[in-house]
Amino acid sequence: MRLACHAAILMLVLNLLHAPAAMPAGKSSDEASGDWKTLFDGKTLNGWKVIGCEAVVEDGAILVKSGNGLVQTEKQYGDFILEVDWKALKSEKYDSGIYLRYQKIAPPRPWPKQYQVNFRQTEEGSIPGIDGTKTTGLVKPGEWNHFKLTVKGTSAALEINGKPAWKADGLKDPVGYIGLQAEVPGGGQFLFRNIRIRELGPVHEK
């Protein structure tokens, strides 16, 4: 009996030693593995550069407060999956967006020439100049909306609020910055939160 008891205790100890480590509360398996990186910490604009506009952090979100410009990542990205929650504070005729894979801004324009995932009312999610990116009925006006954008090579795909929106091809620039657009005088203020990215390969900056 004593031998059997010792054997059972030994088996219990061995099982505990080989059991997988528990993930921190609130984290997915992707986050725990280190694949996903948070771009906005919810408290500061660390990792971002504010260009031509005013942006502040309020209640865990980036508020694009005034001006025409960008809140731009300090790092450039090539292939990636980007997730972001956004909300327009203007009830109608709102306009903003997310720019990706751009290298520079050519004055007098306050924004890059391309590529923009649009937040303009009635055109939310479309990329001007890329065929097949029109969407309808997936955005909730006046509420938080979740975009999941996958960019790989010359192709891109978008999910809006958990539903597939489109898949398209036609991206030319292989690498560049990501920028949250400020178009406040014409398009109103916007909020951004829960911004994270998963890189799908090494980045070779120009």
The number of residues in the chain equals 206
Give me the DSSP letters along 53-112: EEEEEETTEEEEEEEEEEEEESS-BSSEEEEEEEEESSSSS---EEEEEE----TT-SS-
Count other C-beta atoms under 10 Å from residue 22's C-beta.
Answer: 7
Average of per-residue pLDDT across 102-106: 92
Enclosing H/E stretch for 163: strand 163-169
Q: Does 130 have pLDDT greater than 80?
A: yes
Domain boundaries along the sequence of the chain: 33-199
The reported pLDDT for the residue numbered 27 is 43
Tens digit of pLDDT for each residue in 179-193?
999 999 999 999 999
**Whole-model pTM?**
0.81
Task: Spell out the CATH class of 33-199.
Answer: mainly beta
What's the pLDDT at 201? 79
Q: Which amino acid is at 23?
A: M
Least confident among 117-121, 140-144, 188-192, 200-204 = 200-204
Residue corresponding to tokens 């954008």: 149
Distance CA 188, CA 87 (A): 11
Give the tens place of pLDDT for each residue, 36-91. 999 999 999 999 999 999 999 999 999 999 999 999 999 999 999 999 999 999 99
CB 55 within 8 A of CB 63: yes
Phi, psi of 177 (to 5 degrees): -80, 165
Tokens linked to 165: 């929106």
Q: How many other CB atoms are there within 10 angstroms of residue 99's CB atom?
A: 21
Q: What is the pLDDT of residues 19-33, one digit of tens each?
A: 433 433 444 444 444
Coil, helix or strand for 2?
helix
User: To which H or E segment does residue 118 belong?
Assistant: strand 116-118
Specify the DSSP class assigned to residue 176.
B
